[in-house]
Structure formats: structure tokens, C-alpha cells
Chain A
Amino acid sequence: MDRIAITGIGVVSAAGLKKETFWAHLKRGASCIDPISRFDSSLYASRIAGQVHQLDCFSHLKSRLIKKIDVFSHMALVASEQALKDSNINLQDIDKEKVGVFMGNALGGWLFAETELRDMYIEGREGVSPYMASAWFPAAPQGQITIYYGFKGYSKTVVADKASSALALWYAGKTLSAGKNEFVLAGGMEAPITPYALLCANTYGALSRNNLNPRSAYRPYDLYRDGFVLGEGSGIVVLEKESRARQRGATVYGFIKGIGFSSDGFHYSKYRPNSDNLEYAIEEALKDAGWAKKEVDYICLDGEATELGDYLETQALKNVFGKEIKDISLSAPKSMYGNLLGAQTSLDLISTILSMENNLVLPTINYEVGDPLCDLDYTPNKAISRRIRKSLIVARGRGGINVILAVEKE
């Protein structure tokens, strides 16, 4: 069957605003987490994040457009432009009716929304920007991308907490297989470093409070982990059928080969306290990809850095792979730039395909003291060389939305 090829990469994150700098930061094992300084965050329990500081310097947008959109759309437009350029698609030569946009995010555009709502309560309804209605909602970036490029193909936005972009990537592939689209821009974006979104994320309660040590706060699988650190940004890739990519002589980074998903069906924010449902999703992804367990080289982990989250993930891997888990490299590179919630899987996909490209397993940083309950080799602190051909990416949403993507090279 014609596989779904990844032929272009665009990335906006604390670790870099293009794929080259993103990769350079990650392979060094450098933390990009710092204190939140763009508003007074002193009263928030968690006030550190992986922030994008210089978006305007890397932006191609006119200020007339920037003022109409939220920053999450802005980041998505910057990532889209990079991905399209990277793919070498000549936009003049393609049928725009057959180009779709599939995006995922969990929160929507709160910087725009909360600013305008504040104005509404102070100045009344006339104080609200007319762009409010089209700027804040989760599908806004999808709409802005389609308008910017004139793409008219089948498009959708998925909201499924931290599994949003994983599902968007999968849906995108489905439309290509079904012949509904010829190309798709797929991925996600998230901008949670705003006063209200940060408050909600804090209320959720899984964030690290190690504010005095931002660079070592996000420590998945370490005994002294105390939660994840938020990140912001966007990851967008160009997808097309393998045959189409070969025909136009495109650079193919890798292929999305399969997916497995399940839901814990247990609680609105907690995980079911056993790993059965996550195991089921992993098994399904392997089945969908047609891979034997021992073929897997690398797993890009969820690494929530909570006591239960990391334990359950470790248990699931042990139960599914048994002794063979020792032969698989594991890591959570997001420990360097923060967790981008709904956009996270798109960044994980990008770091994974770059790992495959460079035959290098990225590290899980800040791993210092082992936890007897999380006793696998998570590639601590330093990248290691390894030929990677088949990888899994773990995405877990709040309350247990489990999505596993299977990605391969060649």
C-alpha cells in the first residue's frame, strides 16, 4: 500500500524556530526552560516554561494580519511556511482544491480572548475587537492557514488534550489514502503561556513547581520528578502519498505507518491506575503498522513527569515488550523544551524523524536519581548514536486518551 510520506518540516519552539536550530539544541541535551517574564506570574504555583521569545524576528507576516490573529495562529503560520518551503512544493503547480490542513490544539487562543474579554467587561461590547470572534477558537489556525495559501481541500481541527495533534496527523493521512487530498499540512500549535491558560494549567495540577531551578525542573522518570513544564510553539509537517513524493523527487524524511488508540474511560482528569488501556493502544499501533515487537528501535515517550504517569507508562512498555524493551531506545526529548499539550505529538514526530535522519537517540534530560518503579533506560542526559528505522510515539491526554503513532524510515 502507498505509505504516507513526510516531506516537509516546520517548527516553532523554545528550542528553536527552524528545524536546524531545534535539532542543534536537542542533540546537545540543553534545557530551554526559563522563568515566565512576559506577565507577572509571581503568584502562580508553576511559573516556568519553554517560551518562544523571538517569533516576530522569524515571521513573514504583515502586521496588518498579525493584529487580527492570536499568537497560536501566528506560530502555526510561521511553521507552515517553513514546512512548505522545506517540501519544495511549487504552490503555483498544484491543485489547491486537493490541499488539506489538519491541526490539533487543546486550548485555543487565549491571549487574544482574555485581553478582549477584559475590555468587554471594562468598556462594554464596543470595546471588543471585531477579530475576537475569529481569533480565539481552536480551529482558527486551520482557517488562517487555508486562507493565507488559498488551500481548499478537506480540512479539520482536532481537540483531544495532549493527543490532539497525534489524531490530526492520523486523520490527515486517512484523507490522503482515500484520495480526498493530494497534500496535507498537518500538526499542531499551542500557546498556553498567558495569564488565564497558565492558571488553568496550574489548576490541572500536573505542573512542576520547581521554579527556582527552571532548567532542571522537568525531570521525567527521575525519583524527584514533580510534574511537567509547559511549552509553547507549533510543529507542522507536509504529508503526501509515497508515490506522489517519489514522482516529484521530494526528500522523504519518513512515513507514518500506523496508529493505535484507546481511552481509559475512567475520570475527567486522572489516569486509570493500571496500564491496560495504554498497552492496548501500543499493541494496536504495532498491528496497524504490521511490525513485530522486536523490530522497534526507538520509542518517543510521553514523560509526564508525574509519579503515576511515568510509572504507568513504564509498566505498559514492560508488559507489552517484555524482555525486548531492553533493546529499544527510549527517551522524552520534550524534557528540554516543555510539553506543548495539544501540539506535542507534532514536535515529537519532528524530533523522531530528525533522530532517524541523523541516527541519534535524543536524551531525556535531568535524569539523576533512579526510581525503582521506573527502572528502564530512558537515555539519560546524553544523546547516543543508534541506527533508527522504526519508532513509536506515545501521546497521552488528560483522563487517558491514549494515542500511539508508528513512524518508519525507508
Chain B
Amino acid sequence: MDIKEQVMDLIARTLEVSKDELSETEKLYDSIGVDSTEMVEMVVALNKHFGVKIETNEVTKYSTPLQIVESVQTKKQ
């Protein structure tokens, strides 16, 4: 699985939504009802899984899975 697929998988598992329902441009806050604590939960899981260091205060900037994928990809380089 490439990074994008792994991130999408992790987001879907954390939020307990089906992977098919989760598009890259889904509005996490507005359409899935994610709250900031869930975003922190996701960041902690991403940091652990990829060995990267996304700061928890960065999460407020992300509103779609694609932005999270890009952030992980940048940090992995």
C-alpha cells in the first residue's frame, strides 16, 4: 500500500467510516462531523504509524483527507 492508501485506511478506521464512503476531498468537519479531539487522535496514530512528527496544533489547518495525505508525504521526504 502506498502512503496515500495507508493514510486513507487509517482515517477510515479512526473515524469508523467505510473506506468507500471516504473520498479524498471529503469535508472532515462538516460532512463527517469530526471534532478537534478526533483530529488529535488521528495525528497521534499517524505519527506512530509513519514515524513522522506532525504537531497537534497543525491539525486545525486540515479539513480534507487529501491535506493530511500531503502533510504525511512531505514529512516522510
Contact = CB atoms under 8 A, between A and B. Distances in A.
B41 A130 contact: yes
Nearest to B39: A130
Interface of B: 15-16, 37, 40-41, 44, 47-48
A134 B44 CA distance: 17
Interface string A44-62: 0000000000000000001
B41 A131 contact: yes
Contact of B15 (A64, A130, A131): A64
Interface string A103-134: 00000000000000000000000100111001
16 contacts: A62-B16, A63-B16, A64-B15, A64-B16, A68-B37, A126-B44, A126-B47, A126-B48, A129-B41, A130-B37, A130-B40, A130-B41, A130-B44, A131-B37, A131-B41, A134-B37
- Interface secondary structure of B, over-half rule: helix
Interface residues of A, number: 9
A256 B5 CA distance: 58
Interface of A: 62-64, 68, 126, 129-131, 134
- Interface secondary structure of A, over-half rule: loop
Nearest to A129: B41
Nearest to B35: A68
Contacts of B16: 62-64
A123 to B, nearest CB: 9
Contacts of B48: 126
A79 B35 CA distance: 25
Nearest to A126: B44
